[in-house]
Amino acid sequence: MDERVFNFSAGPAVLPVPVLEQIRDEMLCLPGAGASIMEISHRGGPFTEIIHSAEANLRKLLDISDDYAVLFLQGGSRLQFSMVPINLLGEGQSADYILTGSWGKKAMEEAQKEGQTRVAYTAKGSGFDHVPEQGDLDLDPQAAYCHYTCNETIEGVQFNGEPDTGGVPLVCDASSDFLHRKLDISRYGMVYACAQKNAGPSGVTIVIMRKDLAERSDANLPSYLSYANHIKEESLGNTPPTFAIYVVDLVTKWLLNDIGGLDKMFEQNKTKALKLYDVIDAHSDLYKGHAQPSSRSVMNVTFNLPSDELTSKFLGEAKKHKLEALKGHRSVGGIRASIYNAMPVEGVDALASFMKEFAKNA
């Protein structure tokens, strides 16, 4: 394949074309550096400027106050599943988990290896097809923290606001909808997101954390596992993923300058998602949306066809229209269209037209 397709991959995922063009243009020589981004020291001037700029862009996009640290870590969101309890869950304490899909479940399983957890809500009984109402939550007011996954990438269910946990610090895995809209960061103890869906390439995970929470980190932790250490070292305790951070800087500049901020991005995202859900609803005999309508994700649109045979036919014919990576996650099957920030509206229009056409002939 030597031509760009419409790439609906759940992650690593589509990046904005202007960002890719800039990477290409700067590949041999980053301006002012005399070498590529991959060849320069993480302690030198050009990279220092990049990491500071990436942080400043994130602070501007999300209005992050100085009470919060912004970290660029490695190990993916998976490492955060462990780092959160290792740092925040003290001896004799318990942490609440709100389970609305596969990733939240995995986060809790990792936390169980480190300490005591409690299920504040689970949507497992209905196949993780919805998010709870505030009144459905069974919260422990003494919990060390309450963890939830604002967008479940596999099932395609999404919160459209944050749960109210009272005084208990809210910890959010925002991996698959980070930067798709503005968040009120002051409502969170911590937000983490691997970059490879909406913020850049794989290799870096962004952690936004209320600084006082890092005081819970045990001084004897291995230094890479300690948030307090990463805050002290300003993400430079070891060699950070320099290329990935450089791309996060470019993506966040694109959001600020080309898109015009996260409110505008959110409008575009809602419009794109609606186009696909409208087709699903208009052809409900063929396309069965997985998520209940009020919990539908604007990032990952998941649906099933009546048989495996029709699913394979759908995927095969979609490919011929350059609509790629639409296969649902191996654990749930069906179709998943990931329509992150950088998916152009033309890609969504092409998929919507294809779905209508396919329904006519099915």
Do 168 and 140 meet the contact criterion of CB atoms below 8 Å apart? yes
138 is known to lie in a ligand binding site = no
Q: In what order do the strands lie in the sheet with 300-304?
A: 288-289, 300-304, 335-338
CB of 177 to ligand PLP, least distance (A): 8
Which phi and psi (to 5°) does residue 202 adopt?
Answer: -70, 160
* Cβ closest to ligand PLP, residue 74 vs residue 94: 74
- Residue 153 is assigned to a ligand binding site: yes
179 or 355: CB nearest ligand PLP = 179
302 annotated among ligand-binding-site residues = no
Do 55 and 70 contact (CB within 8 A), yes or no? yes
Q: 129 or 358, CB closer to ligand PLP?
A: 129
Q: Is 254 a catalytic residue?
A: no
How many CB atoms within 10 Å of residue 175? 28
Answer yes or no: is 268 a known binding residue.
Answer: no
Cβ-contact 95, 111 below 8 angstroms: yes
Quick check: is 173 catalytic? Answer: yes
Q: Which is nearer to ligand PLP, 74 or 93 (CB)?
A: 74
- Residue 61 and residue 181: Cα distance in Å, rounded? 9
Distance CA 52, CA 49 (A): 5
- Active-site option among 96, 129, 173, 249: 173
Least CB distance to ligand PLP at residue 357 (A)? 30
What minimum distance in Å lies between the beta carbon of 34 and ligand PLP?
32
How wide is the angle at C-alpha 122 spanned by C-alphas 116 and 123, nearest 5°? 160
Find the shortest distance in angstroms from Cβ 76 to ligand PLP. 3
151 annotated ligand binder: no
Residue 77 vs 217, nearer CB to ligand PLP: 77
Alpha-carbon span 281 to 289, nearest angstrom = 8
Q: How many helices (H) and strands (E) are present in the chain, helices listed first?
A: 9, 14
**Among residues 248, 258, 153, which one has the least CA distance to residue 208?**
248
Minimum distance of ligand PLP from residue 299's CB (angstroms): 10
Q: Which of 96, 129, 177, 197 is catalytic?
A: 197
25 is catalytic: no
What lies within 8 Å, CB to CB, of 44 at 6+ separation is: 33
* Residue carrying structure tokens 């980053």: 30
Binding residues vs ligand PLP (CB under 6 A):
11, 76-78, 103, 149, 153, 173, 175-176, 194
Strands 190-194 and 170-173: parallel
For ligand PLP, the closer CB: 117 or 354: 117
Q: Residue 239 annotated as binding?
A: yes
Distance separating alpha carbons of residues 287 and 125, to the nearest angstrom: 22
Q: CA 102 to CA 154: how far, in whole Å?
A: 7
Q: Whole-angstrom Cα distance, residue 5 to residue 306?
A: 27
Q: How far is the CB of 197 from ligand PLP (least distance, A)?
A: 7
Catalytic machinery residues: 103, 173, 197
Binding-site residues for L-glutamate sit at 43
Binding-site residues for pyridoxal 5'-phosphate sit at 103, 153, 173, 196, 238-239
Binding-site residues sit at 43, 103, 153, 173, 196, 238-239
